[in-house]
Amino acid sequence: MPELPEVETIKRSLGPIVGKTVTGLMVLRSDIVKRCDFGVENAVGSEIIDVTRRGKYLVIKLSCARHLVVHLGMTGRLLMVASSEPIADHTHMVINLEGEKDVRYQDPRRFGNISFVKDTGGFFSSLGPEPLDPSFGPEELARRLKRRSASIKPVLLDQGVVAGIGNIYADEILFAAGLHPARGASELNEYEISRLHAAIKEVITRAIEWRGTTFRDYRDGFNQPGQFQTHLAVYGRYGQPCPKCGQPVQKTVIGGRTTHYCAICQE
DNA sequence: AGCTCACCCTGGACGC
DNA sequence: TGCGTCCAGGGTGAGC
């Protein structure tokens, strides 16, 4: 389940492709293409000048002022492999690079998508701020929560509020902030919002340091799993002791999503 | 406008 | 062993 820390880790692992020239590009399943501002043939011959991230989106920037924007959904992977490797099942796009290397996009569940984008500004216009951007402060978070009557958990998952938070980190963030996931977003006071803001930065930063969470599917560009799963406080730990108070972690459904929390530590 | 919920998809876990 | 059922969840869109 690639959320911000996983996508950031993949982005960093794809460093070796920067500077390489695209020698071929094949889309093997057209239904994974979400938006197409230009033909794939336009990418061939371009140089990859950067790999960046916005929220949960990975952006492969090409020298022709065009971008490949990839969303990995739940089970998507971008892997660097030798061109001689056989094409694995559920491979939906192959980017051939100079030096007989490929970047391959695999996604068994096909919740992910690829876009061929000219103007990324427009593409990302509905996304909220990057949680680790220094300009993202508690005041802005407060402003974004104020008009939301829904529970804080689904509001944290709303990419228009803050970009990059998914189900795992929403639960971890709310635990770190000591906030019950069913609390109304607009009812949080200044102190609670400052705790939430600090928890967002802290949890995301720590998860990136551990190279993301691998529950089952997530791998970086070198096919390596993350390590943060052993540091989770509540997510996936239903019935196990809360790391703070020792009481069993609870599980419920909020906003249609499985939600883990500690009934003692999260008021 | 904002909230809630069903839907998409497939592999793995689980029960019988 | 095998079959059926359920579950995971990001984003989207329908309906309220």
Return per-residue pLDDT of chain A as tens, 267 residues.
Answer: 799 999 999 999 999 999 999 999 999 999 999 999 998 899 999 999 999 999 999 999 999 999 999 999 989 999 999 999 999 999 999 999 999 999 999 999 999 999 999 999 989 999 999 999 999 999 999 999 998 999 999 999 999 999 999 999 999 999 999 999 999 999 999 999 999 999 999 999 999 999 998 888 889 999 889 989 999 999 999 999 999 999 999 999 999 899 999 999 998
Look up residue A229 and give its DSSP letter: G
Answer yes or no: is A254 CB < 7 A from strand C.
no
Assign 3-class secondary structure to A108-173. Answer: CCCCCEEEEECCHHHHCCCCCCCCCCCCCCHHHHHHHHHCCCCEHHHHHHCCCCCCCCCHHHHHHH
CA A76 – C1' B4 distance (Å)? Answer: 27
Is A206 buried (19+), middle (13-18) or exposed (0-12) by CB count in 10 A? middle
Tell me, yes or no, if A130 is annotated catalytic: no
In one letter, which amino acid is A51? V
Tell me, yes or no, if A134 is annotated catalytic: no
Q: Could you count the other beta carbons within 10 Å of the beta carbon of residue A15?
A: 11
Look up residue A1 and give its DSSP letter: -
Distance in angstroms (rounded) separating the CA atoms of residues A112 and A75? 8
The pLDDT value given to residue A244 = 96
CA A257 – C1' C9 distance (Å)? Answer: 8
| Catalytic-role residue among A8, A11, A53, A56 | A56
Tell me, yes or no, if A5 is annotated catalytic: no
Positions of strand B less than 7 angstroms from a protein CB: 2-12
Q: Could you count the other beta carbons within 10 Å of the beta carbon of residue A158?
A: 16
**Kind and range of the H or E element at A178?**
none
- Do you know the residue count of chain A? 267
Exposure string for A186-203, b = 16+ CB within 10 A, e = fewer = eebeeebbbbbbebbeeb
Distance in angstroms (rounded) separating the CA atoms of residues A231 and A176? 12
The pLDDT value given to residue A158 = 95
The pLDDT value given to residue A1 = 74
Q: Are A108 and A97 in contact (CB under 8 A)?
A: no
Nucleotide B5's nearest residue (CA vs C1') is A256
User: Helix, strand or coil for residue A254?
Assistant: strand
CA A258 – C1' C6 distance (Å)? Answer: 14
The pLDDT value given to residue A217 = 84
Residues 9-68 of A with CB under 7 A from strand C: 34, 55-56
Nucleotide of closest approach to A160 (CA, C1'): C11
Dihedral-angle region of residue A45 (phi above 0 means left; psi in -120 to 50 means alpha; beta otherwise): left
The pLDDT value given to residue A216 = 80
**Measured CA distances, A15 to A8, A32, A201 (Å):** 11, 24, 24
Enter the tokens of residue A116: 């061929």
| Catalytic-role residue among A148, A201, A244, A257 | A257
Answer yes or no: is A109 CB < 7 A from strand B.
yes
Tell me, yes or no, if A3 is annotated catalytic: yes
Nucleotide C12's nearest residue (CA vs C1') is A111
Cβ-Cβ contacts under 8 Å for A99 (sequence gap 6 or more): A20
- Chain-centre distance for alpha carbon A156: 13
The pLDDT value given to residue A79 = 94
Dihedral-angle region of residue A248 (phi above 0 means left; psi in -120 to 50 means alpha; beta otherwise): beta
CA A255 – C1' B5 distance (Å)? Answer: 8
